[in-house]
Structure 1
Amino acid sequence: MSYKLEKQEDLNENINRIASEEIEACLTSLKKAEINEAVHDIRKRLKKLRALARLVRDEMGEKQYKKINIYFRDLGRELAPIRDLTANMETVDNLKERYGDHIYVKFFDSIKQELEKERDKVTEELQEKDFFSEYLVEKLETAKERLEDWPVKSTDIAVILPSLKRVYERGADALEEAYANPNAATFHEWRKRAEYLWHHSELLQDVWPGLFKTLEAEIHLLADYLGDDHDLMVLDEKLLNSDFNFKDEKQKEMIHALIKEYSDHLRTNAELQGALIYAEKPKAFKNRIKKYLKINWN
């Protein structure tokens, strides 16, 4: 089954099934995928697990919700050094695709090679510590065993409405803050809020498939704009605030200028996309979803 609530199941059955499937998929990635692909897949699934928990936050209670959220958040952070370096390399590829025809052929190659060397070193160090083969497997197995600790007893889908409203409202507030005080931190905060709304729209596909598939695609596009911008900011910080081995100062200045230009482009697109997605008042958004649930759920 997929990452969505199924109408034929009660809410508590849905939550347990989805959480179990996501954790099992993480373990499968570790067994079958190349390390960097596995890390990327697991990081995405950990975010989905956190979004799932957030959807039933009010039902679980704040103490238990925070315990679950922190567990998966911290596990994701342990994967961040490798994932960030992979994202750095992918971002260099994106910059090359966008600007490569206007710059000398090998401008980006040396930068990517330096990043790859560092990623290989970090990966090797973790492998020597049995991080992937033992530690990460144990952490995921523990999470699977603790699924009964997710105190979701209600069968009533309506218990998700307060969280939906809160996620939507915080996303709208984060949009305002990002453009009132534009910097890496405010845009990263908005990105996180948008990703929660994106995952919640995935979970609600069965409520009204035509509508929620479209909504999911539009929020996904916003999350991509903000995610690509975040990756640019992470790369910029790494290249400009470290002992990174540039060929010369001009290469350093040029990559910074390209990052700035691309970031401006992404943020312009995100502003319009965000305004459309967060056009409603949070209460109106919640009430609209409430009506859909009443009409077409169970």
Structure 2
Amino acid sequence: MAYRFVADSTVEANVQRVFSEQLGKAVEQLSENFQKQPEQAVHNARKCLKKSRSLLRLVRKSIDKSIYQQESQRLRDVGRSLAPARDSAVYPATLSTLLDTYGLTLDVNSFSTLKTGLVDLYNVQLDNLSDREQFIAAVMTDLEASQTNLSQVALKQTGWKAVAKNLRHIYSQGQQNFDQAYNDGDDDDFHNWRKRVKDLWYCTCLLQSLWPPIMKAFESELHELADLLGDDHDIAALRQFLTHHAKEVGVKDVHMQVLVPLMGHRQTKLHRRAKTLGQKLYGETPKAFSDRMASYWHA
């Protein structure tokens, strides 16, 4: 089924079903698809993990504290263990997109050599995962344990009360991170905001049945904002990698002389677009947002 709550089920039943589906899909990607399409399998598995973690945050105050802490930590650790392969896949793609945006080709200043180095790094990371059958087996064991636990998790509250405080907190966190990002302009601050935007986006997907036309529009705008901040994060991650691992991929001074200004300019444009969307999506107080969602729930 789709990643959303259905109106004819209880909140608890919806939560259990979504956890079971998402974690089951993650296991399937790593057990059945990894050998054939490793990059896509890792990407899909991590996406399922992120959806599961967002749902976990949505019911955080409605489940046993020890279960939340245990499963949050386990899913975070699994996601981090898969991150190097995914990150290394993003580096060459981000380089190509950046150069295309400014009308440059890989032939200029030997950027083709740099991209080859980044692609080689990605292949090494994939080989490392592919050769570590015990590692993948351990990851799947963790995912299956989480699936078993969360597919039968009990909620302390029912109906709107099961998600109300958590949804309000997720919105409030995003609002705070939005302000922090534009006050300081630090890459980490924008990345933190992105994570909370994705939480709110996934929660909006789950709650789409509250009022489909309104929630779909809100979801679409949040998706666009998450994509803008994702592009920003990819650039920041590439810059950090090239700065600290230059020898690994053959970075030359001329590469950084060209790329660093382009990266800064591109991020500035992305930040402007993200700010416009952020002002619209986070324009309410957390209480007003929560009250509006409650009115949809009880209509």
TM-score (norm 1): 0.93
The question of 1:76 aligning with 2:79 is answered: yes
| Deviation at residue 147 of structure 1 after TM alignment | 2.4
The question of 1:49 aligning with 2:52 is answered: yes
* Residues 5-16 of structure 1: pairs in structure 2 closer than 5 A: 5-16=5-16
Matched AA of 2:69 = K
Residues 101 and 148 (structure 1 numbering): CA distance in 2 closer, same or farther, change over 3 Å? closer
How far apart are the structure 1 equivalents of 2:230 and 2:200? 14
| Deviation at residue 103 of structure 1 after TM alignment | 7.5
Match of 2:284 among 280, 286, 294: 280
Aligned-residue CA RMSD (Å): 1.8
| Deviation at residue 148 of structure 1 after TM alignment | 5.2
* Residues 1-298 of structure 1: pairs in structure 2 closer than 5 A: 1-30=1-30, 31-32=32-33, 34-101=37-104, 104=107, 107-131=110-134, 133-147=136-150, 150-244=153-247, 245-246=249-250, 248-295=252-299
Identical-pair percentage? 31
Q: Is the 8 A contact 2:20 2:151 kept in 1?
A: no
How far apart are the structure 1 equivalents of 2:227 and 2:144? 31
How far apart are the structure 2 equivalents of 1:3 and 1:132? 28
| Deviation at residue 83 of structure 1 after TM alignment | 0.8
Q: Is the 8 A contact 1:191 1:226 kept in 2?
A: yes
Q: Is the 8 A contact 1:167 1:197 kept in 2?
A: yes
How far apart are the structure 1 equivalents of 2:21 and 2:151? 14
Residues 185 and 21 (structure 1 numbering): CA distance in 2 closer, same or farther, change over 3 Å? same
How far apart are the structure 1 equivalents of 2:64 and 2:187? 32
Bigger mean CA deviation after superposition, 125-134 or 84-93:
125-134
| Deviation at residue 105 of structure 1 after TM alignment | 5.0
Bigger mean CA deviation after superposition, 223-232 or 87-96:
87-96
How far apart are the structure 2 equivalents of 1:109 and 1:200? 41
Deviations 1:97-146 (A, max 9, x none): 21234775575422221111112112222222215652222222222222
TM-score (norm 2): 0.93
Bigger mean CA deviation after superposition, 144-153 or 78-87:
144-153
| Deviation at residue 20 of structure 1 after TM alignment | 0.5
Deviations 1:231-290 (A, max 9, x none): 110100001122334463112211112111111111111111101100101100000111
Which ranges of structure 1 fall in alignment gaps of 5 or more residues? Answer: none
| Deviation at residue 156 of structure 1 after TM alignment | 1.6
Residues 28 and 87 (structure 1 numbering): CA distance in 2 closer, same or farther, change over 3 Å? same
How far apart are the structure 1 equivalents of 2:136 and 2:282? 43
Residues 241 and 60 (structure 1 numbering): CA distance in 2 closer, same or farther, change over 3 Å? same
How far apart are the structure 2 equivalents of 1:13 and 1:159? 12
How far apart are the structure 1 equivalents of 2:278 and 2:137? 41
Q: Is the 8 A contact 2:96 2:106 kept in 1?
A: no
Deviations 1:11-36 (A, max 9, x none): 11000100000011112222135111
Which ranges of structure 2 fall in alignment gaps of 5 or more residues? Answer: none
Deviations 1:195-248 (A, max 9, x none): 111111111111111011110000111111111111110100001122334463
How far apart are the structure 2 equivalents of 1:32 and 1:148? 23
